[in-house]
Amino acid sequence: MERKIKEAFFKQVDHEPFAKKFGMRLVDLDDGYSKVEMKFTSDMENLFGMAHGGAVFAVIDEAFETASNSHGTLAVALNMNITYLSSPSPGSLLIAEARECHRTQRTALYDIRVTENGERLIATCQALVYRKGTPLPFLNHP
């Protein structure tokens, strides 16, 4: 992966309002791969004191967004199919890893897994993007 693209992504995620709101942190990035962490806090609980599905979805989506755009061109979500397997423990670290499974000129498929503290599987997701082919606006291509 180009160093310029990697550095730009880390900077963008650090300043992204949504990622900041949920305390998400981009930990690793490569072509077609991303790893994002988020601490599960009490304000992310649902009515039953378990993790709200939207909170788990948020960390999945951040990993998906960064992995699918890691090639330096704009990719937008077409479909995401999530399976919630268990609720994380309060205060645990949710780690989402997105891996590219298949890529064409126009689409790409990703497998995303969320674990609690890198161990217990919390959720899985299969996600598809449409690859627009236009440069990412924050890369300042000439």
pLDDT digits (tens, 9 = 90+) for 2-21: 898 999 999 999 999 999 99
CATH 3.40.50.1970 fits 3-139, yes or no: no
- pLDDT score at 141: 52
- Rounded to whole angstroms, what are the CA distances from 123 to 2, 17, 75, 96? 30, 24, 23, 9
**Dihedral over Cα of 90, 92, 93, 98: its sign:** negative
Domain range list for the chain: 3-139
* Whether pLDDT at 142 is above 70: no
Of 9, 37, 12, nearest in space to 98 by CA = 37
| Length in residues, the chain | 142
- pLDDT score at 140: 76
Predicted structure pTM score: 0.95
- In whole angstroms, give the CA distance from residue 117 to residue 88: 9
**50-53: long-range contacts (C-beta < 8 A, 24 or more apart)?**
50/87, 51/87, 51/88, 51/122, 53/82, 53/84
Confidence bin at 59 (pLDDT 50/70/90): very high
